[in-house]
Each structure stands twice: as C-alpha cells, then as structure tokens.
C-alpha cells in the first residue's frame, strides 16, 4: 500500500515539473530561451551588444588572416562588420572549419554564418538567408589572343583545365570539351599560359581575385554563364526579425556605396548585386 502512495506522489511531482518546463518563460518565472532554441532575435543581439559570426578565417579573399598571422580580414568580414555597424552592435567572429560551420550555427555557437554561403533550395529548407551580398557567374578564361572561343558551344573539341571534383568539370564535359585534370586554379592558369590547354572554366570571383593581385594581361574572360550564384548570410530558422534588420542594413549599404567600395577593394569591380 505504501509503495502505491509513494509512486503516485512521485508521478504527480514529475507532471508538475514537466508542466513547468513546457510553460513560457513568463509563466514559469524562468529566463528567456537561449539563442539556439528558436533562432536569434534582434533583441537578443542588441541586449548582448554583439552579433556572433561563424567564418572560416582561411578562405581568401573572403575571410582570412593577412600573411597567416595578422588580424581577421576579407570581403565577407568587412561586409558583416559594416552590417553590425548599422545595427549598432559589435561583430564577434568565431572561426571554424567549413565542415563544422553549419553544425556550429545549429548548436547556437554563433548567430550567423558569413562565409560565402551559396543560396540553394536544400539550404533554404533548413536555414534563413539574408538578401544576397555577392552575385557571380561561371566564366570561360582563355589566353588574351584567343579568337576561337567566345561561347560555351565553342568549347566542343577544345581542351580545358579543370579540377575533377568541381562542378566546372561537369560543365566543361557537358560543353563537349576534353578535360585536363588539375589540382586548382593556379595550375589551370599555368597550363593556359603555356598553351597546353585552350581554356579553363571557373567562378568569376576566382578570376577577379587573381587579377586584382596579378594583373595578368595574358588571359581574359571569353564568355560567362547566364545563370548566377548568390551568396548571403545564413541564420537559424526563427531569426526572422534579425534577418529583416540585416536586410535593411544591406539596403542602406548598397545605397550609400559601401558594398560597391568593399567589392572593388577585393575584386576590382562591384560583385554585390
């Protein structure tokens, strides 16, 4: 008989605790949920005085340390810092590897990812995105004196230098090109300059970043894809009012020329829209 009464009391206590845990912060007398619970609100960011930003810190020219040891800098770093200036808070950067960056966002280690995150349907189903702050295209790069290639159709029967793990490899194959396997952009340019390949396909941002540093007059963009890729800041679902505030900040930064200025600093032209 005593066992029954004790079990009943324990069960009732458990129900009370469960009800309290499920109640709202105001009803239970507890504090507001952590940022990771339902996304990050604008008020939470303002109360903390910082926007916590996940980024790689090794992804030049977007997020990197100058000479490997200087302060964190880069296109994405400057863009998100300009955004937080508009919000009236500080940027607090949390560096992490790309393979762990979305897990860090989901766990609440940071509130936003600023690391050239391309918008696609799969990611949109899991995360909220700001308006794009980078727009790019695929480009065919040839020697400056090449007159045979002016479109993707012209790649048929030509040889391109491509990394076999990139989506540009598939585009080259679909265009009818023969592919010379390379490890990356630098090797592609080298083979192109030597005349060992006719062209290479890559992201326009890669080409612009290279030219901003090297000023190589021996190569050119011969053609661009019609399709664009767009990169934006990524947030946890539920960060709706924070995303709205960030979009307003981005609109203001476009209007006052800040995004164009940052773009030209790193790429020589405006890639922000």
31 vs 165 pLDDT, higher one: 165
Structure-block tokens of residue 266: 């790193």
If you average pLDDT over residues 223-242, what whole number do you get?
97
Residues 47 and 21 in one domain: no
How far apart CA 102 and CA 257 sit, in angstroms, is 31
How far apart CA 54 and CA 100 sit, in angstroms, is 10
Residues 150 and 25 in one domain: no
Residues 20 and 43 in one domain: no
Long-range contacts, 119-128 (Cβ 8 Å, 24+): 119/230, 119/231, 119/232, 123/234, 126/102, 126/237, 127/102, 127/234, 127/235, 127/236, 127/237, 128/39, 128/234, 128/235, 128/236, 128/237, 128/238, 128/239, 128/240, 128/243
Residues 119 and 174 in one domain: yes
- Residue span of the structural domain in which 219 resides: 39-273
Residues 173 and 207 in one domain: yes
Domains in the chain, number: 2
Residues 107 and 64 in one domain: yes
The pLDDT value given to residue 68: 82
Is pLDDT of 15 > 70?
no
Mean pLDDT, the chain, integer = 89
22-38, pLDDT tens digit by residue?
A: 343 333 334 444 555 57
Residues 59 and 174 in one domain: yes
If you average pLDDT over residues 260-265, what whole number do you get?
98
The residues that bridge with 162 in the sheet, in sequence order, are: 181
Residues 128 and 207 in one domain: yes
144 vs 30 pLDDT, higher one: 144
Quickly state the pLDDT bin for 148 (edges 50, 70, 90). Answer: very high
Residues 90 and 144 in one domain: yes
Among candidate residues 252, 240, 248, 237, the one with its CA nearest the CA of residue 42: 240
The DSSP code for 268 is: S
If you average pLDDT over residues 71-76, what whole number do you get?
97
Radius of gyration of the chain from its Cα atoms, rounded to whole angstroms: 25
105-137, pLDDT tens digit by residue?
A: 999 999 999 999 999 999 999 999 999 999 999
Is pLDDT of 13 > 70?
no
The CATH number given to whatever domain includes residue 259 is 3.40.190.10
**pTM of model > 0.85:** no
Residues 5 and 92 in one domain: no
174-217, pLDDT tens digit by residue?
A: 999 999 999 999 999 999 999 999 999 999 999 999 999 999 99
The DSSP code for 62 is: T
Quickly state the pLDDT bin for 67 (edges 50, 70, 90). Answer: confident
If you average pLDDT over residues 88-113, what whole number do you get?
97
Residues 86 and 208 in one domain: yes
How far apart CA 165 and CA 192 sit, in angstroms, is 19
If you average pLDDT over residues 36-43, what whole number do you get?
83
Residues 81 and 203 in one domain: yes
Is pLDDT of 78 > 60?
yes
Residue with tokens 């808070």: 89
Is pLDDT of 12 > 50?
no
């Amino acid at each position: 008989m005593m066992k029954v009464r004790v079990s009943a009391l324990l069960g009732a206590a458990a129900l009370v605790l469960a009800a309290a845990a499920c109640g709202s912060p105001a009803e239970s007398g507890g504090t507001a949920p952590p940022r990771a619970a339902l996304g990050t609100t604008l008020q939470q960011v303002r109360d903390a005085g910082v926007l916590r930003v996940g980024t790689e810190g090794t992804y030049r020219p977007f997020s990197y340390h100058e000479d490997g040891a200087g302060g964190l800098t880069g296109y994405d770093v400057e863009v998100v810092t300009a955004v937080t200036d508009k919000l009236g808070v500080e940027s607090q950067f949390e560096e992490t590897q790309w393979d762990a960056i979305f897990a860090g966002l989901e766990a609440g280690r940071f509130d936003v990812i600023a690391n050239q995150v391309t918008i696609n349907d799969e990611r949109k189903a899991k995360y909220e995105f700001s308006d794009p702050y980078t727009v790019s295209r695929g480009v065919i790069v040839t020697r400056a004196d090449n007159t045979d290639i002016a479109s993707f159709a012209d790649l048929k029967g030509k040889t391109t230098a491509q990394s076999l793990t990139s989506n540009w490899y598939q585009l080259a194959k679909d265009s009818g090109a023969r592919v010379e396997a390379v490890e990356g952009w630098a090797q592609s340019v080298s083979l192109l300059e030597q005349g060992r390949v006719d062209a290479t396909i890559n992201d326009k941002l890669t080409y612009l970043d290279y030219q901003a540093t090297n000023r190589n007059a021996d190569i050119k963009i011969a053609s661009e894809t019609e399709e664009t890729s767009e990169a934006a800041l990524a947030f946890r679902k539920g960060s709706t009012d924070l995303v709205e505030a960030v979009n307003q900040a981005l609109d203001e930064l476009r209007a006052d020329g800040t995004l164009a200025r940052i773009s030209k600093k790193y790429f020589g032209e405006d890639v922000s829209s």
